[in-house]
Structure 1
Amino acid sequence: MTVTTTAATLYTCDETRWQAVRDRDARADGHFCYVVTTTGVYSRPSCTVRLALRENVRFFPTPEDARAEGYRPCRRCCPDDSGRHAAAAEAVARACGIIDEAPLPPSLDELARKVGYSRFHFHRLFKSFTGITPHAYLAAARARRVREALPLSGTIADAVYSSGFGSGGHFYAAAPEILGMTPKAYRAGGDGTDIRYTVAGSSLGPVLVAVTDKGVCGVLTGDEGPALLLRLRTMFRQARLVPADEDFAAAVDVAVREAEPPQLGRELPLRIRRSAFAVRMRRTVPTVVVPAGQPGPGRGPRPGVPVCTPPA
C-alpha cells in the first residue's frame, strides 16, 4: 500500500514545523503559525522576519489559538488576513507597472497615492515584497531603458534623455554601475571589452552573470543556460566572452543565495520578481578578482579571491 504524505500530516510535529520556519516554506502557510515569545508576535511560516532562537519559538495550529493566549499578529506577513496580503501584493505589482511604463520617474508620494497607501506604509510594503526599495526599482527600470536604447538611438544623448535621465552628467556618473563599460563601448556591442560570465541556479531559474573590469554588464534570467549565453553574445557581439574561473563562479553562487527573492513576494508576477532579483544581484555579485599577489581592499595577498562591491 502506498502512503501519501500531505501537508496536513507533514507539519504535525514541532521538528518539521521548525524546519519549515527556518526554510521560510510558503507551503506551510495555513497549516500552523509560530510565536516568538520574546516579542509576543505570531507569524506565518514563510514570514521574512529575522529568524528567532529556537528556544523562543512556540507553534500553534491556527492564528486564533495564538491570539487566545494574548499574542498579536505580525505586521509584515499579516497571518490573520490573506485577503489583505493579496491586496498588498496587487498594489506592489501595480506600482511596478506604473514605474515600468512611466516616461518620467514618478515620485514616491505619487506612487503611494496611486496604489492607495501612505508614503511610509507603501515604502515598507514594497521592500517587504520585493527586497528592494521603490527608488531602487525605479532606478533599475531607467537603467534597463537606457541599456535597450543605446544600440538603437541616433546618439548617446538621445538614449540618455529618452530613458528618463535628467542630465547627461547624472547618467555618466552612474554608467559604470549601469553598463559595466563605457556608453560608447556598450553602444558598439562591447567592442574591445573582455567579459567574464558564469551561469548559476536560483529559485527563479538559471541566472547568467557577466562582468568586466569596470562592473556588472549583465544579469540575465528567464531562459536555460545555452539560451542565456546566446542572449549575452547577441548583446555584446564585439566583445571577448570568457567563462569565469571557479573562484568567481563560487562567489556568484554565494551572491545568488544572498539575493534570493523574499517569500512574501511569491504572489508577484514572475517578471517583477526577476527584475528585483537582478537589482539585488548587481549589488551583491563580486565584480573584481584580485590578481595574484595583490591585496584587495582591507585584505592580505590572496590570489584569485573575489572582492565584493558593497551594496549601494
Structure 2
Amino acid sequence: MGWLPSIFGGDASNPLGKLDPKLREFLEKESPVRYIPNQRAASTQRQDAGAAAETKPEPAAVPAASLYQDGRYAHLWKNYRPLAEVEEETSTDHDKLMSVLEGYKERKAAIAKAGLENCAPQQEEWINCMKSGSWEDQLQMCRHQVRRFERCYTMQSRFLRALGYGSVAGRPSEVDEDIQLHADALFQRMLQHEAEVEKAKENGTLIPTFDPSLPKTNAANTTNIKPSEELQKQWKEKLDQLPEDERPAEEAALRADLQAKADVARNVKKIWDAKREEREVRRAEGQATFSDTIAALFSRGK
C-alpha cells in the first residue's frame, strides 16, 4: 500500500513520518536496524554519478585548424593533413626551386605595392595637379609634385626593405602591416626633421639630428652575410651620391637585399643537397637512373 501516501499527500520516501511519536521511539529502541530516510536513494545517486564520471569519454583530439576544440566533428578531421605538408610531399624539385624564386619575386612586388600605398597622398597630389593644377605647374609637367612622389616612393622602399617587409615566408600578415605602418611613420618623421632643419638654419640655432633607428647587422648572428670588398666599393660609390640624411636608410636597405639573396641561395642549396643525397642512395642500392649518371658526371666536372 505504499502508493496511498502519494495519493493523500504523504511523503513516500519517509514512511515513519506519520507514526505516533511514542511508537516511533519504541521502534527506534527495539529495532535492530536503524532506518535513515533517503539513505538508499542518496547512495544510489552517488553510485550512478560515480559510474557516469568513470564512463564519461574524453573529448577526441582535433587539429588546431578545427573551430571546435572540444572534440566535436572529430571524425571529420580524422584524416586531415595540413596543406603545407601535402604540398611538401607531392611537389617535385623543380616545383620547390620555382617556389623559392617566386617567393623572392613576390617580396619585391609586395614592397612596391606597400610603397605605393604609403605614398598615396603624394600620388593624389600629382594626379590633381595634372587634372586641375595651376597653369605654371602644368606647364612644367607638375615636376615638383612628381619629385615629391618619387622621393616618397624611394624612401618608403628603403625603409620597407631595411625593416624586413615580406622577408619571412608564411609569417602572419599583421606583422608586415605593422612594418608598413612603421615605414610610413619613419618617412613622416624624416619630413618633420627636414622642416626643423630649415627652421634651425633660418634662426641660426643648433641643427637637430635624425636617427631612423633601423636594424643593424648583429655580429653575434652567424646567418648575416658580409658583403665582399668589391660590393662594398660599389655601395660606397652609390652612397656618396646621396644626401647624408638618406645614406643610413639606403645602406640598411642594401644589406637587407643582400641578406634576402643569401637566404634564397641557401634554400636552393638545401634543395640541391637533398637531391644529391637521394641520388647517392639510389646508386648505393643499385637503382641509379640515367639522369643520375648524367648529374654525377656534371658534378664531377664542376
The answer to whether the superposition gives a TM-score over 0.5 is no
**TM score, norm. by length of structure 2:** 0.21
**TM score, norm. by length of structure 1:** 0.21
Q: Which has the higher strand share?
A: 1
> Which structure's CA Rg is the greater one?
2
